[in-house]
Structure 1
Amino acid sequence: MGLFVFFATITLCLVVDSSAVLERFEEAPKPDGSLSFLVIGDWGRGGAYNQSQVAVQMGVIGEQLDIDFVISTGDNFYDDGLRGIDDAAFNYSFTKIYTAPSLQKPWYNVLGNHDYRGDVEAQLSPVLTNLDKRWVCLRSYVVNAEVAEFFFVDTTPFVGKYFTEPEDHVYDWSGIGPREQYISNILEDVDLALRESNAKWKIVVGHHAIRSAGHHGDTKELVNQLLPILEANNIDLFINGHDHCLQHISSLDSGIQFLTSGGGFKAWKGDVKWWVPEEMKLYHDGQGFMSVKITQTQVDIAFYDVFGNVLHKWNTSKQLSSTL
């Protein structure tokens, strides 16, 4: 009963904005203007490697925080994405895992490199949304939640080694060629959307890290191509997955907080590189997830382990804008 009431009342609609190329969604904040959500990445394993245990704790914390939605930072289905729109993995790795009442909210997803090893169009298909109304997945898009605006970026095509060193993997590049033009379009679209945004808080989400002490480390293509745009537009948070850890790097060079939530299932224990201590606020080489609460004046972030224990908290504030 509650599930049907939720979907009858939620305001989740695609709108057309003539001044922006990226598709846009509207997500209504709470009556007091606040917004809260969870972030999970690198999770689709049919419940294995503690995926189910992480999901249980997400349900608990989601209820405590009365979350509005969930963000997935990609690698939604392992090892090789979905085979098609009828792949049972969508059910046994997503629908039947994240069953808590608090998680029956929109899931805003980006694609990861493992997703590109399967049928990419399957994850983008409205057929999946018909199967599970929570599922929202586009390549790059914007979610406007009034107090904050979220810019989801398709980062996998930026990474050159997937094209030059395919190893034993086959990637589904249909829909992005020619690659250089595709990347150029993303950068232009994100820059335009960020420049036009009047949101108090600007948050960018992608699968690959810009800054990371984890196994994969910095993604040089994003550092060179995307980061200058983010810095020029004074974004607040960059959220990613890819490295199977939980991580918070507070940049000394800009106001950007680099947040990794890639602990949805199997973590890479002990796989960490040296990082500037003044910037490294958290590195946890285990499973878990992240929560964010946003108001007009403050952002509160927390990281949780597989048992629901708080590993790290951080907050920042801004003054309310005065209007004459």
Structure 2
Amino acid sequence: MILIYFYLMVRLSYGLCKFSNERQFQNSILKIHNDYDTPLQFNITDNYARFFALGDWGGIPIFPYRTIVQQNVALFMHNVSKNMNVHFQLGLGDNFYFDGVKSVDDKRFKLSFEDVFLDQEIPWFFILGNHDYLGNPHAQIEYTERSKRWILPNYNYSISVNINQGKNKLIYILMIDTVLLSQETEFRDRSNKVKTLNVTDHKKNDYFQEIEETLKKISLEKYPYVIVAGHYPVWSVSEHGPTKILVDKLRPLLHKYKVNAYFAGHEHDMEHLSHTYMNSTVEYIITGIANLPYYSTEHLNDVPKDSLKYYWADIFQIHGALALVEADLNAMNITYIKTNGEKLYQIKIKNKF
């Protein structure tokens, strides 16, 4: 058994790489601070924000290092961005199938990302997935220094999305490493070797305390929308089902501090679950069909009654799907859309103020 120690005796907001710079994109400026208590400042010139959210997009480890579905997703994103302003993308983990990357110089960065997703002027904000931990996850953090549009400054970080040239707060996004937070910290790589993350229950509790402190602080800052994003879902009806520790420890925080939505991947499908708890409704968004589709509803009876609002996965098609999010000071619209342009489903979230 291989024990992997990923610097877990430090607090949630601490990181090993220090980034402090400003990156200019076509319709936005990103400010990365050298202070991990300060969110990234993403200032958009427009009076709205538009972004894609997709997980489990990470190609394959053999030639051509991409799947047909991934290629179609990338082409669709490129075509949309030619016709309308897309300001950024959320990459929800499993960035490189099946065993992550070996180092910051790994060819997979080029062959499964840079050569596939063509828009150089649209930044990606990433989190890590379980497959990324089968390689060298810290190499993906280091790659933030190599690529202007690859943004992963730490295992956990946050983004303040501001509109009208940065004058108005719009969305606060908390990006969390659910692999470290969860009990699912043992994996088998392709050679069937077991890899284990050494995460103690005490340290997990510290992480959840950090999340609560962050959400409590943000609840006082009057962002119209608050999103938390992680690779593992809280609720799911599909192959993996609900993530128990997230149901037990993260879900109460999402509802207590009135988070609007929780975005996840891990399941290779599109799901929407809406759950009211502690007098607060959170929309649970799963968007993980950007590379390797999989259909399953085996955990349909393991989610709250009537919480499942939408499910889609078609393993016989090559289109794939993803979420397109459009938000202004009035509302946030989340559209599930296939890469042939067909709109599958839409969710509307009102400005909480």
CA distance in 2: counterparts of 1:257 and 1:9, whole angstroms: 28
Match of 1:13 in 2: 31
The answer as to whether partners of 1:38 and 1:62 remain within 8 angstroms in 2 is: no
Shift of 1:9: 7.2
Question: Which letter maps to 1:258?
Answer: Y
Cα shift at 1:23: 5.0
Superposition deviation, residue 191 in structure 1: 1.3
| 2:291 counterpart of 1:265 | yes
Give TM-score scaled by structure 2 length: 0.79
Deviates more, 1:116-125 or 1:246-255: 246-255
Deviation at 1:62, TM superposition (A): 3.4
Q: Quick one: which of 31, 43, 57 aligns to 2:46?
A: 31
Equivalence for 1:44: 58
Cα deviation code 1:238-292 (max 9, x no counterpart): 0000000011111143310000011110111345542567432221114211011
Task: Please list every run of 5 or more consecutive structure 1 residues that lacks an aligned counterpart in the other structure.
Answer: none
Count of residues in Structure 1 that have an aligned counterpart in Structure 2: 304
- 1:63–1:9 distance in 2 versus 1, CA, 3 Å: closer
SS of the aligned residue for 1:13 comes to strand
Aligned mates of 1:217, 1:300 — CA distance in 2: 26
**Secondary structure, aligned partner of 1:144:** strand
Where structure 2 has 5 or more consecutive residues not aligned to the other structure, the ranges are 1-22, 60-64, 162-168, 315-319
CA distance in 2, matches of 1:203, 1:233: 11
| Worse-matched range after superposition: 179-188 or 221-230 | 179-188
> For residues 16 and 297 of structure 1, what CA distance do their matches in structure 2 show?
33
Question: Counterpart amino acid of 1:44?
Answer: G
Report sequence identity in percent.
Answer: 24
Structure 1 counterpart of 2:332, one-letter code: V
Matched, 1:53 2:81: no
Residue range with higher mean Cα deviation, 266-275 or 255-264: 266-275
Deviation (angstroms), 1:185: 3.1
User: What is the RMSD of the two structures over their aligned residues, measured on CA atoms?
Assistant: 2.4
Given candidates 137, 140, 154, the residue that maps to 2:177 is: 154
Partner residue of 1:284 out of 284, 309, 312: 312
**Secondary structure at the counterpart of residue 130 of structure 2:** coil
SS in 2 for 1:226: helix
Q: Given the superposition, is the C-alpha separation of residues 169 and 221 from structure 1 closer, same or farther in structure 2, using an over 3 Å criterion?
A: farther
| Residue 143 of structure 1, aligned match among 116, 139, 159 | 159
Are residues 1:116 and 2:139 paired?
no
Greater share of helix: 1
Equivalent residues in 2 for 1:222-261, closer than 5 Å: 222-253=246-277, 254-261=280-287
1:310 equivalent to 2:343? Answer yes
Call closer, same or farther: CA 1:72–1:8 in 2, change over 3 Å: closer
8 Å Cα contact 2:238-2:300 kept in structure 1: no
Provide the C-alpha distance between the structure 2 equivalents of 1:143 and 1:44, rounded to a whole number of angstroms: 23
Task: Give the structure with the larger strand fraction.
Answer: 2
